[in-house]
Structure 1
Amino acid sequence: MSDLDPRLRQRLGAYRNDVISHVAGPGPDQARQLLRRRRRMAAVAVAAAAVVLVVAPVVANAALNNDDRTPPVPAESVTPTPPAPSAPPTPPPTGSASPNTAPTAPDGRISRAQLLATRVDLPNWQPGEMEGGCATAKVRLRTNTDNTYVSELAENAFRYGDLDGDGAVETVAVVSCRYGEASAKQVVAFDRDREGRIVTLGRVVRTGDGFDDIRATEVNRSGSVEVRVADIQPCCGTPSYLRREQVRTYRWDGERFSQTDGPTAFGRDPRLTDLRLSMTHQLTDVAGADTRRTLTTVFTVTNAGPVDAPQVAFHGIEVGERAGGDWSRCDPNPPPQADNPTCLLPGVPAGESRRYTFVQLVPGTPRPDAQVQRFFVVHCDAQDRWWPDLKKDDNGVDSPIRF
C-alpha cells in the first residue's frame, strides 16, 4: 500500500471503517450462540455471510474506479430467501400397505372321508344307556356295521357353518352307537386346530335328553344348529307312523352348546286315547252227547278319551270254535298294521261305551297244559293302524277258564 496515493489510501480506510460498522461478521459469540441453538439457524447464517462476501468486493471495486469524493453507500442487509418447502412424501400405492399379521382361524370344513381316516375324541354317551360302553377316546369311526357298542358315523348329511364366530366354518355330523336293535345318537361339532388336526368342538345334543332319535341337522345363517328330533326310534316291530318330530335349535356359547329355541318336551301324544275293557261270561253245557260247552263272552269297551277310536281290535279271544255273536262283523282279513288282531270291529267315540259279544264252543274238559288266556283291546284308526293306549294296564282281562 506504500505505493498508493495518500488520498486513495485514505478513501479505502474510510470505506473499510464504514462497512465494518454496518456489517458484523460471524464472530465467536455468534458461533457459540448457533451451537447452543443446535445449529437451527446454520443455513440462514451461511447465506447472510455469503451475501456480505459477494457485495464487499463489488463495492470496493466501484470506489476504486470512482474519481469523485462521494462517500460510498453502505451495503444493504439481505434477508436470505427461505428454502422452498420440500414436497410431501408420495404415499405408497393402494395395496402395498403392510399385510394384516393377525392369525386367521383354521378352516374346519371336514369331509366324511377325512373324518373316517382319523381318530377323534367323542363326548360321553347317555349314562345308563350304554351298558356295553361305547368308546369315546381316540375313536376310529366306522360305517354300516351291525356290531353293538361300536361308534359309527351315521348316514346323516354333514352340515357346515361358523358355529363359534371365528370367521371360519366348522363341521356338524351325527355319530351313533348300536346297543341292540336301536342306536344311541349324538350331534357332534368338529373343527381343526392351528396345525390342521381334526378336533372335537363339542356335543350339540344327544338322544336320551328328552327324545330317542335324531332325524336331521341344519346350520342356519346365524351359526345355530337346528336338530330334528323324534320321541321314539322305531325298531323292534314299532311302526314308524307312531313317531313324532320336533325341531330344536342349539347355539355355542363359548364353552358348550345350549338350546336356544324350539320345544323342550313332547308331552302327551294328542293322537292317543284311553280304552278300558271289562268282561262278563257264561259257560253252558251243550245238549246231547257233545262234550263241548258254549262260552258266551261279553266285552264292554269304554273310551275315556280324549279322542275317538274309529275301530277297536280284540286280541286273544280266538279260542274254540266260533258260534255266533259279533264274529260275523269282524274284518275277516285284518291288515298287518293292526298287529294281527283276532277281530277288528267298529270303534267307540270318546266318552262312550260299546258292548261286543262273542259265542264260542270250547272243550268240556280243559287240557292238562291249559293256561289262563288274556284278552285285550286296542285302538285303531280309519286306516287300520293300531295305536298305543294312554293307560294300557286297563286294556286287558283274564279269561275265567283255562283252555
Structure 2
Amino acid sequence: MSDLDPLLRERLGAYRNDVISQVAGPGPDKARQLLRRRRRMTAAAAAAAVVLGVTPVVVNAALHADRTPPVPVESVPPPTPSTSAPPTPTPTGSPTQTPTPTAPTGPNGRISRAQLLATTVDLPNWPSGMAEGGCTISDVRLKTNTKKTYVSELADNEFEYGDVDGDGADETIAIVACRYGEASAKQVVAFERNSDDRIVTVGRVVRTDDEFKDILAAEITSTGSVQVTVADIVPCCEIPDYIRREQVRTYEWNGQRFEQTDGPTKFGPDPRLTDLRVSMTHELAEVPGADTRRELTLVFTVTNAGPVDAPQVAFHNIERGERAGGDWARCKPAKLSDTDELGCLLPGVPAGESRRYTFVQLIPVQPGADASTRSFLVLHGDAQDRTWPDLKPDDNTVPSPIQF
C-alpha cells in the first residue's frame, strides 16, 4: 500500500465512526431535540393547511413527515365580503312567456255613426217578405228615425268595437232595422274597412225571425265574441213591457259566418201563462112597473186548465148598463194591457179548478143606435193587478146574447 495509506485509513475511520453514530441514533438529548423539531414541523404544516385551504391529503402528508411533496388540489378561495344586495335567486320551472300581440292583418275597422250614415253599404238579407216590402239590401244608405215603413235605418243603440273575426284589427258592430208597421225587423251587423279604406260588411251576427221578435242590445266581449240580448215580443201595439221575456245569446265568427256558441236557442212556452177557458149563461128579465129597462144576468164559468194558478181573473166588455147586483161589488178596476179600457178584476182560479162569476145590470129595453153584439173577454190576472195573455186565447171569449 502507498504512503498515503495511513492518511487514507485515518480518514476512512473517521467517516466510519460518523456513519455508525448516525445509524445507531442520537442520544437522549438528541432524540428530544429531534422530536421537538418534528412537532414544530407538524404544527406548522397543519396551520398552513388551514390557512391555505389545502386538502386533507396534504395535511395528512405533513402530519406523517412525508418527504414526497403532495400535488395540491385546486381550491376555491373564501369569498370576499360584499356590501351589495345578494343576487335575485333564479326561479325554478319554466319562465312565463309574455305573449306577443298579433299584428293586425286588416285595416282599422272602427267606424263612427256619422261615417256609416255617409256611405252606402250592402246588408245581409232581411226576413222573408221584408225585401219585397221595400227593405233593400244593396247599396243601402241608412237613415235614422224616419218613422217610415220599409226603410232601412240605424237603431239608436251605441256602436260596439272589437276584433270579432280574429284578424287583429277592430270591427264595428251596429244594429240596423227596417220598420214594417209599429214594429221593426232588426239585425246585428259587423262592418269593417277593406284595403281601399271603404266600409264593407263582414256579416250578420243574428236577426229577428219567427223565434224572437226584437233585439235590444249587442256587446263585444274581451274574447271577440258578440253577446246579443233578444226578446220574444216587441212592446208595441198595446203590448205592455212586463210581458216581454229577454235572453242573452253569444255568437262567434267561424271564419265564414257568425254562429251561436252559448246561451239559449229558444224561448219556448212562457212559464208565467196559463190556459183559462170560459163559458156563459144569461137571463134577461123585465123590470116590473113602468121602468123602461130590463135586467140582464150574466153567469160566467171559468176553468183554469193550467199549468199555473191565476191569482185573479179579469172580465172585459161586460158593462153596458147600470150595475144591479152579483159580483160587481167585489170588482177592482182591470186595465186591459196598455189601453185605457177598464174591466172587472176578481179573485182568481187555481190550476185544475173552476169558479162561477155573476154580473147583474139594467139595460135599456130598446138598444141605442150605438148598440152592438160584442164578445166578453176573460184574462188571467196576477197579484200585481196586471193582465196576461192566454196560452190558448181562442177559448177566452164568449159572444153576447143580445145587443146593448
What TM-score, normalized by structure 2, do the two folds share?
A: 0.71
Task: Establish whether residue 300 from structure 1 lines up as the match of residue 328 from structure 2.
Answer: no
Q: Which residue of 2 aligns with 1:149?
A: 150
Q: Report the aligned-residue RMSD.
A: 1.9
Q: Within 1, Cα distance between the matches of 2:110 and 2:338?
A: 47
* Uncovered stretches (5+) of structure 2, i.e. residues with no partner: 1-102
Q: Deviations over 1:303-351 (max 9, x none)?
A: 11111112111111112221111111112x4457574333111111212
Aligned equivalents of 1:257 and 1:155: distance in 2?
A: 23
User: Matched residue pairs, number?
Assistant: 301
CA distance in 2, matches of 1:166, 1:209: 33
User: Partner residue of 1:375?
Assistant: 376
Question: Aligned AA for 1:297?
Answer: L
The equivalences for 1:129-208 within 5 A come to 129-208=130-209
How much does 1:368 deviate?
7.1
Partners of 1:128 and 1:393 lie apart in 2 by 27
Change (3 A) 1:344 1:246: same
Q: Does the 8 Å contact 2:239/2:338 carry over to 1?
A: no
CA displacement at 1:127 relative to structure 2: 1.0
Give unpaired runs (5+ residues) of structure 1.
1-101
C-alpha distance in structure 1 between counterparts of 2:204 and 2:190, whole Å:
6
SS of aligned partner of 1:300 = strand
Distance change >3 Å, CA 103–CA 321, structure 1 → 2: closer
Aligned to 1:343: 344
Q: Would the aligned equivalents of 2:313 and 2:381 in 1 still touch at CA under 8 Å?
A: yes
Whether contact under 8 Å (1:319, 1:362) holds in the other structure is yes
TM-aligned CA deviation for residue 370 of structure 1: 4.4
Relative distance call for 1:244 and 1:398 in structure 2 (3 A) is same
> Following the alignment from structure 1 to structure 2, what is the Cα–Cα distance between the partners of residues 222 and 103?
16
Aligned partners of 1:370 and 1:380: how far apart in 2? 28
SS at match of 1:342: strand
> Deviation digits for residues 65-94 of structure 1, max 9, x if unmatched?
xxxxxxxxxxxxxxxxxxxxxxxxxxxxxx
- SS of 2:342's equivalent? coil
Within a 5 Å distance, the mapping from 1:174-253 to structure 2 comes to: 174-208=175-209, 210-253=211-254
Give me the whole-angstrom Cα distance separating, in 2, the residues matched to 1:368 and 1:142: 48
Question: How far apart are the structure 2 equivalents of 1:186 and 1:249?
Answer: 14
User: 1:293/1:206 Cα in 2 relative to 1: closer, same or farther (>3 Å)?
Assistant: same
Structure 2 CA distance for partners of 1:337 and 1:366, relative to 1, 3 Å: closer
- So what's the TM-score if we normalise by structure 1? 0.71
Alignment partners' CA distance in 1, 2:335 and 2:243: 17
Matches within 5 A, 1:215-364: 215-331=216-332, 333-335=333-335, 337=337, 339=339, 340-364=341-365
Contact 1:338–1:386, Cα closer than 8 Å, also in 2: no
Q: Higher mean Cα deviation, 300-309 or 285-294?
A: 285-294
SS of 1:185's equivalent in the other structure is strand
What is the deviation of 1:357? 0.8
Are the aligned partners of 1:337 and 1:384 in contact in 2 as well (CA < 8 Å)? no
Q: How many angstroms apart in 2 are the aligned matches of 1:334 and 1:245? A: 26
What is the alpha-carbon distance in structure 1 between the residues aligned to residue 304 and residue 130 of structure 2? 36
